[in-house]
A = this chain, B = another copy of it.
Amino acid sequence: MSLERFFNPKSVAIVGASRQPGKVGYEILTNIVDAGYKGGIFPVNPKTDKIGRLKCYRDLASIGEIPELVIVVIPAGFVPEVMNQCAKIGVKAVVIITAGFKEVSEQGRQLEQKVAQIAKQAGIRVIGPNCLGVVATTNKLNASFGGELPKEGSIGYLSQSGALLAAILDMANANGIGFSKLVSIGNKADVDELDVIESLGRDTDTKVIAGYLESISNGGDFVRQAERISQTKPIILMKSGSTGAGAKAASSHTGSLTGSETAYECVFGRAGIIRCNSIKAQFDFAQALANQPLPKGPAVAVITNAGGPGIMAADAIEQQGLVFAKLADETISKLTAKLPSAANVQNPIDVLGDALADRYEFALDVVLDDPNVDTVLVLLTPQAMTASAATAEAIVKVTSQKTKKPVLACFLGAGKVQDGINILQKGIIPQYDSPESAVNTIKAITDYVRWRNRPKRIIKLFAVNRRKVQNVIERHLRTQSHQIGEAESKEILEAYGFVTPKGSIATTAEQAASIAEQLGYPVVLKIWSPDILHKSDVGGVKLGIRTAQEVKDAFDLMMYRIPTKIPNADILGVLVQQMCQKGKEVILGMHRDPHFGPLMMFGMGGTMVEVLKDVSFYLAPITSDEAKQMLVSTKTYKMLQGVRGEEGVDIDAISEGLQRLSQLVTEFPQIQEMDINPFVVGPEGTTPIAVDARISVQQT
């Protein structure tokens, strides 16, 4: 849907307009009038005939025409009635500023539901309630009580916190930052973050979408649409309420469900959303993305008039995993020919403390031509000779001639460099308050570019036995048993092409020994009980057994000891299993997020996984590239490649395992959680073995 009617209405009615300064109904009306809105403005308030020079109407019907946008600022209890009036006269867009709904009480939640229902039946789109309003700078519409109309610009902003939006507007106005649209989404009774993002995605005035969110309403759609929009227009989000403490505060505040941190990391990663955790970082990123071209790669060159800040920038570049550009020989020759001999002609290029604008201009011009440089960061400190304004002009001039690479500036200081900073801002060169902030921005943008250039996503489909898995799962759900036991877990794994170790269940020590003899040594014994999930915790696993006598001993010890530890466990016997001697143990897993669906996990296997937490996550279904990326992003990966003379393992086989698991959990939404642990993988060309698995299912 389009929010065009909210951003560019022919007329606006303000229900609850007031002549009393300080009241929200006054502030909003004043803001609309003061911003220079050109459409019809209709204050509605039965208690007065006129507000300022505007005629005031007793209700919506008496206006005599249908206002395209209605702003509601009357107390919560009266809102349903106004919605009914809107429905009656045919209003299609309503912004409900009023608070006192879902965010305060159960009663408020019901009231909000009622409002939403009326809107739905009448085909009215609603922004809010409990919001700050809507701003569209190009149309000079300031239907908000967030402050005066900001400068026109290319950042579109949405916020789930009205108060934060007010602070952002205040900061932006003070720093001359411009916006295209601003939307306070409040309780999201109808229009939610995705509606706004989609609308800003289509909006030609908006180059960058930025916002603050506490929750995401529709996980699946959000991922798909955000991924599509990010491909051409960057989305920069602050998402709070992510950690335990934060999430607790979120639920007590907005009553909306918040997803787990991992899920959001996965979603943002998949959809190419640039995440940041402060307003400052968000504007740092947005200004560069809105005003500068995207870099081709990660190589950064630094031009400075002082060593210290140059070193700080170099440190930050290294710490962020960017590339400290190695200048081409030709660049170095050119710099050497014209700069003073004491200048440093290697990166960071030091044009020296007495540099005027000409040296900066020359160096920037030369460095922008260097094929080894993707982004240029220009640092300036206010020294005795420094010409901050002229230098800023020179930077703007060169950058406007050579527009292929991004140029960022960091004029350090305040009063003495303010003239220069003003010129940079007018010349749309983003200016940063420290080398670190500038480098963090370059990092965020470089990651975004890498995401944009990612290979096309192709999900491989393996030939599997779906029916078999369906049967197992349905049988479990019928009997309300949500944990699938080891034997049937293996059936499921085998149906999806995993190889599992051979073995059988023994009920006597002698039987165990005879199974072991048939399998060949070494074998492993595992207690066999539907009631024992973590077998090793109770001494229910014995590895590396090499003789029949050892088998019998281990069998009897388990049978003797375990019932004393878990008296009520129903012990069906002991599994005697072939032991995988060679290879490395990894874990392949899945956790189904209630909002965003299956999150795939990869990590080092065995008991270590819980200690080292060296794991990676990705949203299913995954491609072969993404599976590989999951491996690479762990430290375990290096170990899998082989260290210190050890042979590496078959990386592609793990990647295939992840893709098969991804297919399984995508095709069976009943699977809530699943671990294949250990998944034992050997040298290239060998078949990995899914040794053990835990699967839990639930009715969907």
Contact = CB atoms under 8 A, between A and B. Distances in A.
A436 B306 CA distance: 30
A342 interface: yes
Interface residues of A, number: 98
B413 A171 contact: yes
Contact of A252 (B248, B344, B382): B344
Nearest to A319: B243
B245 A318 contact: yes
A212 B306 CA distance: 14
B612 A612 contact: yes
Interface string A237-261: 0101111111011101110000000
A147 interface: yes
Given A145-B384, A163-B309, A412-B171, A612 B614 contact: yes
A314 B163 contact: no
B308 A174 contact: no
A535 to B, nearest CB: 9
B161 A307 contact: yes
A210 to B, nearest CB: 15
A170 B611 contact: no
Interface in A604-648: 607-608, 610-614, 635-636, 638-639, 643-646
B252 A346 contact: yes
Given A342-B104, A346-B252, A434-B279, A173 B245 contact: no
Contacts of A389: none
A595 interface: no
A174 B413 CA distance: 8
B163 A306 contact: yes
A249 B160 contact: no
B241 A382 contact: no
Contacts of A612: 612, 614, 635, 639
A128 interface: no
A384 B161 CA distance: 14
Contact of A382 (B166, B537, B607): B166
A401 B196 CA distance: 48
Contacts of A145: 384
A167 interface: yes
A171 B414 contact: yes
Given A315-B241, A318-B244, A537-B644, A309 B161 contact: yes
Given A161-B308, A412-B171, A249 B611 contact: no
A436 B277 contact: yes
Given A253-B307, A643-B607, A324 B167 contact: no
Given A145-B384, A315-B240, A381-B164, A249 B173 contact: no
Contacts of A214: 307-308, 311
A567 interface: no
Interface centre among A159, A161, A437 (most CB of B within 10 A): A161
A599 to B, nearest CB: 20
A417 B245 contact: no
Contacts of A639: 608, 611-612
A186 B413 CA distance: 20
A348 interface: yes
Contacts of A381: 163-164, 166-167
A405 B467 CA distance: 66
B311 A249 contact: yes
A252 B349 CA distance: 11
A685 interface: no
B309 A246 contact: no
B314 A245 contact: yes
22 contacts: A99-B353, A160-B308, A162-B306, A162-B353, A170-B414, A171-B413, A175-B414, A214-B308, A214-B311, A243-B315, A245-B314, A246-B318, A252-B346, A253-B311, A278-B434, A536-B644, A607-B643, A607-B644, A610-B643, A611-B638, A611-B639, A612-B612
